[in-house]
Structure 1
Amino acid sequence: MLHTPRPVEIVSAAIGEGARDGGCKYGASALLAAGLAQALSDSGCEVGARTMVTSDPLQATDRMDTVARFNQALAEAVAPLALTGAQLLVLGGDHSCAVGSWSGMAQALRPHGRLGLIWVDAHLDAHTPESSESNAPHGMPLAALLGHGSAALTQLFGWSGKIRPENLAIIGARSYESAERQLLESLGVQVIYMEEVARRGFEDCFAQARAAVTAGCAGWGVSLDIDGLDPGDAPATGTPVAHGIALAEAMAALRSCHGDPRLVGLEIVEYNPLHDFGGQTARAVIALAVAGLGVPATAASAALAARPA
């Protein structure tokens, strides 16, 4: 059965203050300049107006305050977009932006049910300010979404636990600290480490994760950190980690999401254009976005035929 393609709303999450290397703040602008929106349109997507949220450290007291203020603004921008029924494409920015992205989507879905989330990343991103030696906010978003950490991040919209542990799955982790792993294990979060991904294949692991996070949920999404991919395919990120997920496998898994009416959004983060000599990683990100949100030829043709003359 063919589904009518939904429009795609692009949200630029321009923040780099949460990372050690802040060049990812310019990632969304660079990707749009490289033709991402046009590539989606060429694939059959109806691309809506673009929304940009930008961090402003001059208005903040410190790094964490910058991240908190930004995520509040991002969440408030995302929530009404999610209510329109469009699929959202959030372009980071460092991964701290995930707090705002998924808090906004969870708020929009809250009257209808829970939000599920697949997190593709080389890292666990489950530190709290107390457990993190680096105190880098881009290492804290998952803990915050689960309700642990700074209240400025956990209490957006006045409630915590935007993602329940049983509706979260992490794929591809291979660089993390014991405190993060202990927190996730204590909560019962499903983590499919890179060793298992290499053995079973990413598509199989993604299918398992999707079945888990969507159970009983009103909607679900994917947050994909570019460092989850193998650096040979996508080197332009601030924290590359060897032996990652092959780009071709990631694209194939995202294509499996086509036609799922509960897919509310795809977030792609940590692309750093300052390291992208020759544009290899920009092309990889564009390919991922089209794989996840682009319209298959048969569905695009059916939608076109159904339009009034």
Structure 2
Amino acid sequence: MRIRVIGAPIDLGADRRGVDIGPRAIRYAGLTEQLQRLGHSVNDVGNINIPLPENQPTGNPRLKYLEPITKLAEELSGTVSDALQDEEFPLILGGDHSMSLGSISGVARVHKDVGVIWVDAHADFNVEDTTPSGNIHGMILAALAGIGDEHLVNVGGWAPKVDKNKIVIVGARDLDEGEQKLLREHNIHVFTMSDLDRRGISYVMQEAIEIAGANNGPIHLSLDMDSLDPREAPGVGTPVRGGLSYREAHFAMEMLAESQRLVSMDVVEVNSILDRENTTAQLAVELTLSALGKKIL
């Protein structure tokens, strides 16, 4: 596989600083070298230029940093589309989860029937009226589904980016009240940690792959490192206890690799300031390798 690594060190979408160092930390953990050992070729094109929050007006307190976030999304969308058109696999490193508005928009421009597997402790399905924080990283999946502020929804000039029936959230365990109502209203497929406890990771991922990749369609994986239990991934901005175990996360990635449906991937929310000895970044590399074909035997 030919892989294009793209860094998107944005921290405008969240309250806590530190995720802007995430792409550097993941690279430092040996991403390129280990992908090459798997037999992939790697084209690391560096980072998209992101303005510092200190240099930007916050704007609407219920849609913080809306203008620079949508501007980044437009640029990242084009970069990701270019990678796919050059027959390279886009691997986008965050940064907070607001970057996925750009990454998935870019994929959807090329793969119009793409499904999304959103592995996350949170659903990121808020809108301006439901958000308790105003942080846009909690609104991105709704925007991709065509729900929410028009500036977010219409990045790239069209909406929705993803069919709601092909969106699957895996590992959710911290949902806002208004967000819960929206998820039910729009019939979004959500596998909570209770579902994983009841049915097991194998069943849940098989269902997720069948839903997101319906009719043998392409899948984008968005991996938020806070989907893992904080004991495994301490370096995240919004940790929630009771997350995926080390092996559950790896098995989920291995199943995605075996499906051969994955066309793109982003890894987000590695917060190096909160991490311990780059543990979370190292785990991000390990999980990426599993998603891209590494096997135990």
TM-score class normalised by the smaller sequence: over 0.9
Question: What's the % identity of the aligned pairs?
Answer: 32
| Distance in 2 of aligned mates of 1:204 and 1:260 | 14
| CA shift digits 1:60-109 (9 cap, x unpaired) | 67411121111111111111112223222111110011110100000111
Q: Deviations over 1:179-222 (max 9, x none)?
A: 11111211111111111112222232111111011113641111
Q: Give, in whole Å, the separation in 1 of the partners of 2:194 and 2:294.
A: 32
For 1:21-68, what per-residue CA distance to the aligned partner results, in whole angstroms no more than 9, with x for missing partners? 121011001211221111111222211232421322546674111211
Partner of residue 26 from structure 1, selected from 17, 21, 30: 21
**Contact between 1:194 and 1:244, CA under 8 Å: does it hold in 2?**
yes
C-alpha RMSD of the superposition: 1.8
Name the CA distance, whole Å, in 2 between partners of 1:11 and 1:276: 22
1:205-244 correspondence runs (5 A):
205-216=204-215, 218-244=217-243
Separation in 2, partners of 1:116, 1:277: 34
Work out the CA distance in 2 between the residues paired with 1:265 and 1:296: 19
State the 1:296 CA deviation.
Answer: 5.3
TM-score relative to the length of structure 1: 0.89
Report the counterpart of residue 82 of structure 2 in structure 1: 80
Structure 2 CA distance for aligned equivalents of residues 71 and 234 of structure 1: 27
Assess if the C-alpha contact under 8 Å between 1:116 and 1:217 holds in 2.
no
1:295 & 1:88 partners in 2: Cα distance? Answer: 18
Distance 1:231 1:217, change over 3 A: same
Query: Distance in 1 between the 2:165 and 2:140 partners?
Result: 17
- For 1:136 and 1:19, locate their aligned partners in 2 and report how far apart those are by CA, in whole Å: 5
Number of equivalences: 290
The structure 2 residue matched to 1:35, chosen from 30, 34, 49, is 30
Pairs within 5 Å for 1:279-298: 279-294=278-293
CA distance in 1, matches of 2:102, 2:227: 20
State whether residues 2 and 43 of structure 2, in contact with CA within 8 Å, keep that contact through their aligned partners in structure 1. Answer: yes
Equivalent-residue separation in structure 1 for 2:127 and 2:261 (angstroms): 30
**Alignment partner of 1:278 is 2:270:** no
Counterpart mapping for 1:1-309 below 5 A: 6-57=1-52, 58=55, 62=59, 63-110=65-112, 114-216=113-215, 218-258=217-257, 260-294=259-293
Please give the secondary structure, in 2, of the residue aligned with 1:88: strand
Residues 60 and 42 (structure 1), Cα distance of their counterparts in 2 relative to 1, 3 Å cut: farther
Structure 1 residue 229 displacement after superposition: 0.5
Gaps of 5+ in 1: 1-5, 299-309
Extract structure 1 runs of 4+ deviating beyond 4 A.
295-298
Indicate conservation of the 8 Å contact 1:43/1:295, yes or no. yes
Q: Residues 215-252 of structure 1: CA distance to partner in whole angstroms, max 9, x if unpaired?
A: 13641111111111011111100000001001211112
Q: Provide the C-alpha distance between the structure 2 equivalents of 1:98 and 1:48, rounded to a whole number of angstroms.
A: 20
